[in-house]
């Protein structure tokens, strides 16, 4: 069965105290038998505090929001996958559209990051998604195929097992505009199809594909109920414990 996942991507928000309050509030309000995996992706500086707060909690994981494309050495300001994996951190987000756009991350850079992550046994949450003009021009299937085939879908089959795909239409991120459940399902089914074409049925059926882009309590249930949608990568709504809990409960 595919893993159901609700991941909170905090981006560059909160401070030390706010981040601890947020995690404590979420942990205190979770039902004992919550069903999806929960992943917190705080900024680097707060990772260790979040790890401490989540210690010994079942089904809760910690992710970094990025990792370096380099192994180690003279790269001021960078954080390597090897450093990340020396903590109790299981996941890394790679290929977020904000990194592609604002930090000029090309497929070549992303491939280095993916390899660094895999070599250090991290699970990769790999983001893909089209712009509004790609969508309006009917190019979104092609754009997404290209983003995946030139990165995670060029991996050997054996390395793909630790990949989670996040479909994040750029026009929906942080805009308050969400893809409809049908729009999201259509793309998730497309992604699952191209995974199947590349690696076969078994792997495609086992890969979690999560949705991101203004996912919130009001729309999570409908989005998560779609056949090929296995959860969400939540930005803004992951910063508010009540919203994040409601989204977790939408499963
Ligand atoms: P959003 O961000 O939920 O604020 O739209 C999602 C994301 O960028 O991961």
The model's pTM:
0.97
The separation between the first and the last C-alpha atoms of the chain, rounded to the nearest angstrom, is: 15
d(CA 5, CA 69): 26
Beta bridge mates, 244: none
**Residue whose CA lies nearest to ligand 1 atom number 1:** 235
Phi, psi dihedrals of residue 43, rounded to the nearest 5°: -60, 155
Query: For 132-142, how does the pLDDT look when each residue is reduced to its tens digit (9 = 90+)?
Result: 999 999 999 99
* C-beta of 9 in contact with ligand 1 (< 6 A): yes
Mean pLDDT, all residues of the chain: 97
> Given 3.20.20.70, 3.40.605.10, 3.60.10.10, 3.30.2130.30, which CATH number is that of 5-248?
3.20.20.70
Which atom of ligand 1 lies closest to the CA of 9? 9
What is the tens place of the pLDDT at every residue in 187-219? 999 999 999 999 999 999 999 999 999 999 999
Q: Where are the domains of the chain?
A: 5-248
Judge contact between 217 and 14, C-beta under 8 A: no
Q: Which of 112, 168, 188, 190 is catalytic?
A: 168
The answer to whether residue 34 scores a pLDDT higher than 80 is no
**Coil, strand, or helix at residue 96?**
coil
Question: Hey, CA dihedral for 40, 122, 107, 202, is it positive or negative?
Answer: negative
């Amino acid at each position: 069965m595919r893993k159901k996942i609700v991941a909170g991507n905090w981006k560059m928000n909160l401070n030390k105290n706010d981040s601890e309050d947020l995690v404590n509030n979420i942990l205190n309000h979770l039902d004992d038998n919550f069903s999806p995996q929960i992943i917190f992706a705080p900024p680097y500086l707060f990772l260790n505090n979040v790890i401490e707060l989540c210690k010994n909690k079942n089904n809760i994981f910690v992710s970094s929001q990025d990792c370096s494309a380099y192994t180690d050495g003279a790269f001021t300001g960078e954080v390597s996958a090897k450093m990340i994996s020396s903590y109790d951190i299981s996941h890394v987000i790679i290929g977020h559209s904000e990194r592609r756009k604002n930090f000029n991350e090309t497929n070549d850079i992303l491939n280095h990051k993916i390899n660094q992550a895999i070599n250090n046994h991290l699970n990769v949450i790999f983001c893909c998604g089209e712009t509004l003009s790609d969508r309006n021009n009917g190019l979104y299937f092609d754009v997404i195929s290209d983003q995946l085939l030139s990165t995670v879908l060029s991996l050997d089959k054996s390395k793909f097992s630790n990949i989670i795909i996040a479909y994040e239409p750029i026009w929906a991120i942080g805009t308050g505009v969400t893809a409809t459940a049908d729009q999201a399902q259509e793309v998730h089914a497309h992604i699952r199809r191209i995974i199947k074409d590349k690696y076969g049925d078994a792997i495609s059926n086992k890969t979690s594909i999560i949705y991101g882009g203004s996912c919130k309590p009001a729309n999570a249930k409908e989005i998560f109920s779609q056949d090929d949608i296995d959860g969400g990568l939540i930005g803004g709504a992951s910063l508010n414990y009540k919203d994040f809990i409601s989204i977790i409960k939408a499963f």
